[in-house]
Amino acid sequence: MDDSYIYKDAKLLYDIPYLSRHNHSEELVEMERFIRTAAAEGLACYLLGLSYDSNASFCEIETTQGLTAEDPAGERLVQIASLYISQFHLFGAIGHRGSAGSC
């Protein structure tokens, strides 16, 4: 399944598609805060989309190919996600709000 199908009904913020399986407002707010902060720091270009699986209670964060958690931009995205998203999947790992070091 390609990403265009996954995000066909998604909202857009800074041209980044994001959606919540059950359209839960708290999930949408978490993703919007993450996207706004990433964009303010010039990192929006690395984001392909976010999808919150309401049933599993985690947010899948898709990034551009080749970006890793060890890259400065990747490290910062993990830090930002840890500030705003309750539980997320990024760079092949699960993270939680408060799990990354201070920025």
Q: Chunked in runs of 10, what are the mean pLDDT values of the chain (103 residues)?
A: 59 93 92 98 97 93 97 98 97 89 44
Given this model, what pLDDT does residue 24 score? 87
Contact 62, 16 (CB under 8 A): no
In the block, tokens 């929006």 appear at: 44
Beta strand segments in the chain, E? 11-13, 16-20, 47-53, 58-63, 87-90, 93-96
This prediction's pTM: 0.88
Range of the domain at 59: 7-64+71-96
The answer to whether residue 24 is domain-embedded is: yes
The answer to whether residue 30 is domain-embedded is: yes
The answer to whether residue 2 is domain-embedded is: no
The answer to whether residue 38 is domain-embedded is: yes
Given this model, what pLDDT does residue 5 score? 52
User: Cα(40)–Cα(27) distance, rounded to whole angstroms?
Assistant: 20
User: For the chain, what is the domain count?
Assistant: 1
User: Cα(69)–Cα(75) distance, rounded to whole angstroms?
Assistant: 5
